[in-house]
Chain A
């Protein structure tokens, strides 16, 4: 039964199993274990980023394609919900319509980009997605009439999903709409993650891995490499858009900085690499560690920067604004010395 749910892809390491169970339980019981607005915010972020990173891993880890447009698809999903909620008014129908439209639009756009670049060589894809994603990001901040520009959009979602909706209390925690909203995000993320796990362990997923290892040979065996690569791109884009929709439902706000910025793209890359490319469980571990570190380490950097005041250069290097610098260093080091990530390391130990 359990093997069936996990599509036969067991964690295959005792430590890893323990970690994954801890994360699953922690997220499932987050409102009760860690009450408070900020920890719930962090937990929801972790759920959404697990899906986003797992969908990116389908591309990077399983198909060996580098894309820089993943935040664009994420943003499309988020803006889909935001625009639908703005124009159709508050309601579940708006959420559904926005989510579906965002996912379809993402898949179509990915199909277009894939047809142009993957046909020739996979390396074009990295450059073209970078160009397209930056053009879209600029476009979104320029078309302020439609997208709210740099300010983004605020909109309202059904009342049952907002803190104003009270339901009574359980184990001393007041159950309000925000907690219902959290469980919507949690179960949707869990379902999407299991779907992705199913995809990569299907025959289709095997072909993707074969293409990653040797595309020439895969073509020679009779698999249309372009077709498989393009389909993987579309699937990954659609799931990213769904994650974006969840994010929009959770935040009740979208803006270019929170959904489209290049910085988020880097975060995703780093989460995949730290967790481990080519395993879906890597996305879980990577996203959890990274979001926790992002939320709590930046404070620490501020403290360290204050403590080293007076020394040359160190305060600037430790300034919380230089968070990206350390991410970059960590990124290079982990690609060199840690290419299989945490999951690969744990699995090889057993």
Chain B
């Protein structure tokens, strides 16, 4: 005897417009901020300059933040020592650039680019290796214990930062960009530094590449699945630990890359720069939603743009603008804009 299935008539109701806007809202925030900036600044040329430098800054912050958010999502590891990789990357990269003075000092695009690429590769190799060591020595013994993770990685940050002082000396290092990256181009009456344009293009390319790897390759699939439900991925037979080490190394190398770019942007490097950037990186990771690369991207652009606009409009407020942004976003979405990892 079987009873008839209960009546049920599925309906395909369309998602209402407010719902759809709500879902896409994080994506709309960046254009919204740009328009708001335009309205409040008034002069198109300074607006363009500020927007480009804001985007450049945002891209660099994103490069530094992406590794951190993935590491957190994948293994629930919060790495307060991430900033140390930024500093080390900057010091290694800039040392290479200073060593290749004969390549950077001449106005030849080929030699300049070669020197920058050499610096970037050196920085990424060193910070990647350092990240590997950091994971083995510092992070591995404290899996699953947030409190100890925070304490121990802060200790690691201090030790690495102090070792920079020992190796490179206590003073900041000033540098000049390679010849071809100096100066600005004029576009629609606005002077835009060449380096900033390059940083925007490079950051965008990196974001697209990262998205492709994460969305289109098998390893990306494993990483994304691991972020959402690590136990299930392990049950399917993947060794998530190895994936995690890979992501940790890649994230450290990206932090090093970000450090080199930031050093070239500021034209001065200090051992404490990683710690300073770390604060922006944390803000970005929090407002983006822990574990989300897209969220971090949007968050980084918001932070970069807002900082530049506010610094132009009201210099004193620039210091707290990021905190205000973070507060506003957390009031709106307590988990950050696009959380991937469920709150624990």
Please give the residue numbers on chain A whose beta carbons come within 8 Å of chain B beta carbons, in ascending order.
Answer: 60, 64, 66, 116-117, 119-124, 126-128, 130-132, 134-135, 138-139, 142, 262, 266, 269, 273, 313, 316-317, 321-322, 324-325, 327-329, 331-332, 335-336, 339
Q: List the B residue with the shortest CB-CB distance to A143.
A: B316
Q: Could you tell me the dominant secondary structure of chain A's interface residues?
A: helix
A287–chain B nearest beta-carbon distance, Å: 18
Q: Which residues of B contact A331 (CB under 8 A)?
A: 151, 154-155, 158
User: Residue-by-residue, is B314-328 near A (CB-CB < 8 Å gives 1, otherwise 0)?
Assistant: 001001101100110
Partner of A262, one of B142, B275, B316: B275
Q: In the complex, A127 Cα to B276 Cα: how many Å?
A: 13
| B146 interface contact, C-beta 8 A | yes
A60–chain B nearest beta-carbon distance, Å: 8
Query: Judging by beta carbons under 8 Å apart, are B138 and A116 in contact?
Result: no
Q: In the complex, A128 Cα to B286 Cα: how many Å?
A: 8
- 25 sample A-B contacts, Cβ–Cβ < 8 Å, listed by A number: A64-B147, A66-B147, A116-B327, A123-B78, A126-B78, A127-B282, A127-B286, A130-B282, A131-B283, A131-B323, A135-B319, A135-B323, A139-B319, A142-B316, A262-B275, A266-B158, A269-B151, A313-B166, A321-B170, A324-B162, A325-B159, A325-B163, A331-B158, A335-B142, A335-B151
Partner of A336, one of B152, B165, B276, B343: B152
Q: Which residues of B contact A132 (CB under 8 A)?
A: 323
Counting chain B CB atoms within 10 Å of each CB, the highest count among A122, A128, A269, A321 belongs to A128
Q: Which residues of A contact B316 (CB under 8 A)?
A: 142
Q: In the complex, A135 Cα to B276 Cα: how many Å?
A: 10
| B106 interface contact, C-beta 8 A | no
Q: In the complex, A261 Cα to B279 Cα: how many Å?
A: 15
Q: Which residues of A contact B150 (CB under 8 A)?
A: 66, 123, 126
Q: Which residues of B contact A327 (CB under 8 A)?
A: 158
**Which residues, 147 to 188 on B, are CB-close (under 8 Å) to A?**
147-148, 150-152, 154-159, 162-163, 165-166, 170
New A-B pairs, 17, CB < 8 Å, besides A120-B334, A126-B78: A116-B327, A116-B330, A120-B335, A121-B343, A123-B78, A130-B278, A131-B323, A135-B322, A142-B316, A269-B151, A313-B166, A317-B166, A322-B162, A322-B165, A328-B156, A328-B162, A335-B151
| B11 interface contact, C-beta 8 A | no
| B344 interface contact, C-beta 8 A | yes
| B133 interface contact, C-beta 8 A | no
Q: Which residues of A contact B80 (CB under 8 A)?
A: 126
Query: Judging by beta carbons under 8 Å apart, are B166 and A134 in contact?
Result: no
B328–chain A nearest beta-carbon distance, Å: 11
Chain B: residues with Cβ within 8 Å of the partner, total of 43
Q: Which residues of B contact A124 (CB under 8 A)?
A: 286
Partner of A328, one of B155, B285, B286, B322: B155
Q: Could you tell me the dominant secondary structure of chain B's interface residues?
A: helix
B147–chain A nearest beta-carbon distance, Å: 6
A324–chain B nearest beta-carbon distance, Å: 5
Q: Which residues of A contact B335 (CB under 8 A)?
A: 120
A195–chain B nearest beta-carbon distance, Å: 25
Q: In the complex, A331 Cα to B286 Cα: how many Å?
A: 27
Q: List the B residue with the shortest CB-CB distance to A277.
A: B147
Q: Which residues of A contact B107 (CB under 8 A)?
A: none
Q: In the complex, A269 Cα to B147 Cα: how many Å?
A: 12
Q: In the complex, A161 Cα to B335 Cα: how many Å?
A: 50
A115–chain B nearest beta-carbon distance, Å: 10
Q: Which residues of B contact A321 (CB under 8 A)?
A: 165, 170
| B141 interface contact, C-beta 8 A | yes
B279–chain A nearest beta-carbon distance, Å: 5
Query: Judging by beta carbons under 8 Å apart, are B334 and A119 in contact?
Result: yes
Q: In the complex, A64 Cα to B149 Cα: how many Å?
A: 12
Query: Judging by beta carbons under 8 Å apart, are B148 and A335 in contact?
Result: yes
Q: Which residues of A contact B276 (CB under 8 A)?
A: 134
4 closest A-B pairs by beta carbon, nearest first, are A328-B158, A325-B162, A332-B155, A328-B159
Q: List the B residue with the shortest CB-CB distance to A272.
A: B151
Q: In the complex, A262 Cα to B275 Cα: how many Å?
A: 10
Q: Which residues of A contact B78 (CB under 8 A)?
A: 123, 126-127
Q: In the complex, A128 Cα to B322 Cα: how many Å?
A: 11
A217–chain B nearest beta-carbon distance, Å: 14
Q: List the A residue with the shortest CB-CB distance to B146.
A: A123
Q: List the B residue with the shortest CB-CB distance to A127.
A: B282
Counting chain B CB atoms within 10 Å of each CB, the highest count among A138, A332, A339 belongs to A332
Query: Judging by beta carbons under 8 Å apart, are A269 and B154 in contact?
Result: yes
Q: List the B residue with the shortest CB-CB distance to A64.
A: B147
Q: Which residues of B contact A324 (CB under 8 A)?
A: 158, 162
Q: Which residues of A contact B275 (CB under 8 A)?
A: 262
Q: Which residues of B contact A123 (CB under 8 A)?
A: 78, 146, 150
B315–chain A nearest beta-carbon distance, Å: 10
Q: Which residues of B contact A316 (CB under 8 A)?
A: 166
Query: Judging by beta carbons under 8 Å apart, are A120 and B343 in contact?
Result: yes
Query: Judging by beta carbons under 8 Å apart, are B326 and A131 in contact?
Result: yes
Query: Judging by beta carbons under 8 Å apart, are B166 and A322 in contact?
Result: yes
Counting chain A CB atoms within 10 Å of each CB, the highest count among B154, B163, B320 belongs to B154
A225–chain B nearest beta-carbon distance, Å: 13
Counting chain A CB atoms within 10 Å of each CB, the highest count among B138, B150, B275, B322 belongs to B150
